[in-house]
Amino acid sequence: GQQLNQSPQSMFIQEGEDVSMNCTSSSIFNTWLWYKQDPGEGPVLLIALYKAGELTSNGRLTAQFGITRKDSFLNISASIPSDVGIYFCAGSPGTASKLTFGTGTRLQVTL
Amino acid sequence: GAVVSQHPSRVICKSGTSVKIECRSLDFQATTMFWYRQFPKQSLMLMATSNEGSKATYEQGVEKDKFLINHASLTLSTLTVTSAHPEDSSFYICSASSTVRVDEQFFGPGTRLTVL
């Protein structure tokens, strides 16, 4: 099935640094979601975006719904060790529709 | 709020046996539940979408007779892997969307299936 392209694929950063990752699609989505998955666990919803151009924050996390509706960005400020994990974007074409997931960005934070 | 549980969290079975995985929404009613499969270091791949009281919709390439899905109530969906084989070993995760927040999916903790 279709997958969204996420970049970077993985990143090593130092504690305290800011992190940026993005997700692109060849088709338009009406909802963008960002999840974090820890090893052996299910994904946890971080941020949901519903409108093109929307910028939404959740603590140190900020996500934006691209104006073209074909991309989304997630920023993490002042990273801490517990930010380690895999971050997935997911797009939905409409209400209660199935999600298409990104390829994931693996984040590792060093002290 | 929006808690989804899965049972069992881990199961090991012999080849040829069937395994049932339960997915429950604990504090909300889920009109739609989704079943995903995830291989190591890969993203989630949707297997099927189930709506309460109706037949599940399977993604292309997913055998409906192999992966039986039942969505008996607004809080419970089950996935049965029939006649399991080693290639069915994987991490199976369910998600649910509520009647209130229909565009958001909340995931269970996953079930690790190992077929010997």
Please determine, for residue B110, whether its predicted confidence score (pLDDT) is greater than 80: yes
What's the mean per-residue pLDDT of chain A? 93
pLDDT at A96: 63
Mean pLDDT over A5-16 rounds to 95
pLDDT at A95: 65
Mutation for A interface: B33, B35, B43, B94, most A CBs within 10 A: B43
Tell me how many residue pairs between chain A and chain B have CB atoms under 8 A apart: 58
Place of tokens 């997700």: A23
Task: Judge contact between A2 and A96, C-beta under 8 A.
Answer: no
The tokens of A75 are what? 């920023």
Answer yes or no: do B102 and A96 touch at CB < 8 A. yes
pLDDT at B100: 75
What's the mean per-residue pLDDT of chain B? 93
- Tell me which chain A residue has its CA closest to the CA of residue B57: A98
Please report, in angstroms and rounded to a whole number, the separation of the first and last CA atoms in chain A: 38
Query: B110 and chain A: CB distance < 8 Å anywhere?
Result: yes
Pick from A75-79, A99-103, B20-24: least confident: A99-103
pLDDT digits (tens, 9 = 90+) for B46-103: 999 998 888 899 999 999 999 999 988 889 999 999 999 999 999 999 999 887 777 7
Please determine, for residue A32, whether its predicted confidence score (pLDDT) is greater than 90: yes
On chain A, the residues whose CB falls within 8 A of the CB of B32 are 96
Percent of chain B clearing pLDDT 70 (strictly above): 99
- Tell me which chain B residue has its CA closest to the CA of residue A45: B106
pLDDT at B53: 82
What is the per-residue DSSP string for A33-100?
A: EEEEE-TTS--EEEEEE-STT-EEEETTEEEEE-TTSSEEEEEE-S--GGG-EEEEEEEESSTTPPPE
pLDDT at B87: 95
Distance from CA of A42 to the nearest CA of B (A): 4
What band does A104 get if pLDDT is binned at 50, 70 and 90? very high
Answer yes or no: do A41 and B97 touch at CB < 8 A. no
Answer yes or no: do A98 and B108 touch at CB < 8 A. no
SS3 of residue B21 by DSSP: strand
pLDDT at A1: 57
Mean pLDDT over A38-48 rounds to 94
- Tell me which chain B residue has its CA closest to the CA of residue A50: B103
Query: B76 and chain A: CB distance < 8 Å anywhere?
Result: no
